[in-house]
């Protein structure tokens, strides 16, 4: 039985708002006013549903006067929290994320990237009879896919990769306390990079992971490595990546994320034949709003009953 009918400020759009408004707790769902900064929460709002890239990048360095007064819970539509100001994660109000909501879509994107790289779709595409020629294409069978990060996204990628005959290795921030079926554990990213044909970045961006893929790591990578980044652009030293590709050590990169986003006009990544850029869309899927709303509704059930919420962001780690 529900016991709380919260006032909710919805910054996630009408599709999500309509689902939330139908919840048995009978919440009052307010639409976000155009032109209002995302941290400008009206008095009386108890719950904030928000997402990155709607103005949070312009947030002040310190919380505005009165920030959070009456606000008890913030639900983010993203898994990563690095787009938000640090003061959002000070423990009050409680912050939850959408961990795993996009895992299937991102895993599908990763497999598309790996297949495109191995099968060389761009090189073999015919534009006329003069392009008819024999080509030797790559294979997934017998290759190794390395996962830097083994949360919901890593698990979804591993499941698909194994089905294609790839061997899978992974490093995880929390270490390995028990074996993961079908996944070879690695203790260090350098060792994984040296053993992988495709290296997928699925890590949160933190102080510890910023610039993790640098010149030193790339120098130790297996020659011909294909790097896939579906996490955050700032995990990679982009200058070092470009140099490694130009030197021929790294065969190519598929980057759904960069630093900044978008890259400025004229950046060499845009036209480099070994780099495939996409505009941070790996999470996208036709059912994303439904999946997100379902996750929020699960938490709203708990919130209305006064129970614990799932996917609470750790204020110490920032994810």
Active centre residues (catalytic): 232, 280
- Find where tokens 């190519």 sit: 252
Coil, strand, or helix at residue 119?
A: helix
Backbone angles phi, psi at 226, to 5 degrees: -110, 120
Report yes or no: 253 and 116 within 8 Å, Cβ to Cβ: no
Report yes or no: 16 and 291 within 8 Å, Cβ to Cβ: no
Rounded-to-integer distance, Cα 219 and Cα 108, Å: 29
Burial class (CB in 10 A: 0-12, 13-18, 19+), 176: middle
Distances from the Cα of 187 to the Cα of 139, 174, 277, angstroms = 27, 10, 30
Beta bridge partners of 72: none
The dihedral through the CA atoms of 224, 105, 162, 158 has a sign that is positive
């Amino acid at each position: 039985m529900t016991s709380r009918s919260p006032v909710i400020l919805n910054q996630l759009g009408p599709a999500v708002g309509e689902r939330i408004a139908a919840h048995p707790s009978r919440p009052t769902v307010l639409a976000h006013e155009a032109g209002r900064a995302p941290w400008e929460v009206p008095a009386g709002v108890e719950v904030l549903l928000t997402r990155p890239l709607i103005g949070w990048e312009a947030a002040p360095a310190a919380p505005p006067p009165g920030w959070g007064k009456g606000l008890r819970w913030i639900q983010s539509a993203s898994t990563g929290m690095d787009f938000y100001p640090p003061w959002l994660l000070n423990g009050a109000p409680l912050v939850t994320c959408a961990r795993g909501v996009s895992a299937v879509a991102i895993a599908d994107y990763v497999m598309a990237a790996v297949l495109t790289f191995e099968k060389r779709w761009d090189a073999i595409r015919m534009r006329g009879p003069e392009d008819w020629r024999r080509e030797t294409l790559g294979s997934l069978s017998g290759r190794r896919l390395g996962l830097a990060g083994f949360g919901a996204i890593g698990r979804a990628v591993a499941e698909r990769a194994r089905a294609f005959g790839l061997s899978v290795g992974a490093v995880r921030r929390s270490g390995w306390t028990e074996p993961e079926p079908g996944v070879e554990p690695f203790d260090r990213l350098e060792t994984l990079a040296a053993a992988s044909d495709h290296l997928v970045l699925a890590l949160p961006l933190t102080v510890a992971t910023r610039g993790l893929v640098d010149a030193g790591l790339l120098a130790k990578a297996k020659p011909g490595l294909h790097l896939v980044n579906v996490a955050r652009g700032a995990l990679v030293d982009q200058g070092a990546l470009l140099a490694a590709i130009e030197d021929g050590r790294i065969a190519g990169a598929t980057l759904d994320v960069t630093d900044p986003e978008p890259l400025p006009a004229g950046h060499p990544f845009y036209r480099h034949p070994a780099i495939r850029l996409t505009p941070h869309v790996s999470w996208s899927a036709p059912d994303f709003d439904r999946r997100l709303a379902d996750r929020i509704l699960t938490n709203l059930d708990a919130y209305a009953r006064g129970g614990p919420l799932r996917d609470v962001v750790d204020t110490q780690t920032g994810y």
